[in-house]
Amino acid sequence: MVSTVDREMHIDALLDAPISVVWQAWADPAQIVQWWGPNGFTNTMQTFDLREGGEWRFTMHGPDGKDYLNKSEFLDVIPERVFKFEHSSPHFITTVLFEAKGNETHIDWTMLFDSKEMRDAIVKAANAEEGLKQNIVKLKTFLVK
């Protein structure tokens, strides 16, 4: 088996909410737009067809005033277990695994890029590793509201 670690960004977290609540934060477009993205970003949802083969399109509005169109296709959706999508540009596949831990939820979030060079370029250009950490903090904050 070939390792993909050098092409990945990965984070995991234990969230202080039951799996049903965490899943809804991901599966409900009205909720995901409230916490998705790094600090300072807001979102406008265009399409969120949460099923295998369904489309997810939204615009992230950056603190710099620029808009960033995001288009993805859902690859695997298993309620309260798997949220997996393929982002078109830049190309990467995101897999989020959910595991109940009593009244808490563990999530394991991996972004897999086509190459180490692509991963490194995204990390450098968009400060993506820090953005991923900020996304987790925003999700944690959203869940305690």
Q: Is the four-CA dihedral 57, 87, 94, 85 of positive or negative sign?
A: positive
Q: Name beta bridge partners: 104.
A: 101
CA 97, CA 141: separation in Å to the nearest integer? 20
Report domain extents, the chain. 7-143
Question: Which residue matches tokens 């088996």?
Answer: 1
Whether 126 has a pLDDT exceeding 90, the answer reads no
Question: What is the CATH code for 7-143?
Answer: 3.30.530.20
CA 106, CA 29: separation in Å to the nearest integer? 21
Whether 1 has a pLDDT exceeding 80, the answer reads no
3-state secondary structure of 90: coil
Q: Name beta bridge partners: 93.
A: 86, 112
In tens, the pLDDT along 66-103 reads: 999 999 999 999 999 999 999 999 999 999 999 999 99
